[in-house]
């Protein structure tokens, strides 16, 4: 009986490591590479210990497009790089409910889907953390860190 448990446990560990983890990425997270020279996709894989499926929600993608068209040259360039990085993500077409902000949308879907969110928004991080949803964020402008149980 112990042998069966060990085999099952080993199989579960192997399958768990091979499973892809969906991560919702916030607009501000796409600005990290241009500001801090950090490869967010490589760092997410290393931090979470498995292959990550980065997801950008359609309203977040549109927000990034607006920033790329900004009159601020610096912000526009950062957002343009963010858009190129967003091309490596799965774009999920979703609609916000009446009165729902982008943060509220990410919060709702993270809870529904049971997946982590990558954001540097302090208020959103707090809300997610209070519900036990894992949050990936930038620590000390040099590395990613996760709060919660990813």
- Considering only 11-15, 97-101, 107-111, 146-150, which range has the smallest mean pLDDT? 11-15
**Total-model pTM:** 0.84
Q: Does 14 score more than 50 pLDDT?
A: no
In this predicted structure, what is the pLDDT of residue 18? 55
State the pLDDT at residue 3: 35
Q: Is 12 helix (H, G, I), strand (E, B) or coil?
A: helix
> Is residue 8 in some structural domain?
no
Model confidence pLDDT, tens digit, residues 24-53: 999 999 999 999 999 999 999 999 888 899
Contact 110, 116 (CB under 8 A): yes
- Is residue 30, in this structure, part of any structural domain at all? yes
Residue 122 CA to residue 105 CA, distance in Å, equals: 16
Residue span of the structural domain in which 28 resides = 20-147
Task: Report whether pLDDT(120) > 50.
Answer: yes
Counting the structural domains of the chain, the total is 1
* Residue 105's CATH number: 3.40.50.1010
Q: Torsion angle of alpha carbons 126, 149, 96, 137, nearest 10°?
A: 60
């Amino acid at each position: 009986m112990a042998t069966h448990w060990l085999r099952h446990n080993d199989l579960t560990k192997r399958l768990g490591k091979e499973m892809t983890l969906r991560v919702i990425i916030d607009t501000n997270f796409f600005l990290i590479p241009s500001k801090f020279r950090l490869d967010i996709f490589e760092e997410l894989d290393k931090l979470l210990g498995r292959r990550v499926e980065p997801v950008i929600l359609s309203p977040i993608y549109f927000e990034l497009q607006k920033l790329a068209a900004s009159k601020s040259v610096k912000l526009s360039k950062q957002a343009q790089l963010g858009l190129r990085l967003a091309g490596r993500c799965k774009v999920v077409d979703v609609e916000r409910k009446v009165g729902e902000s982008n943060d509220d949308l990410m919060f709702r879907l993270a809870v529904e889907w049971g997946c982590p969110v990558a954001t540097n928004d302090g208020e959103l991080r707090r809300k997610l953390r209070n519900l036990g949803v894992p949050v990936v964020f930038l620590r000390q402008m040099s590395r990613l860190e996760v709060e919660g149980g990813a």
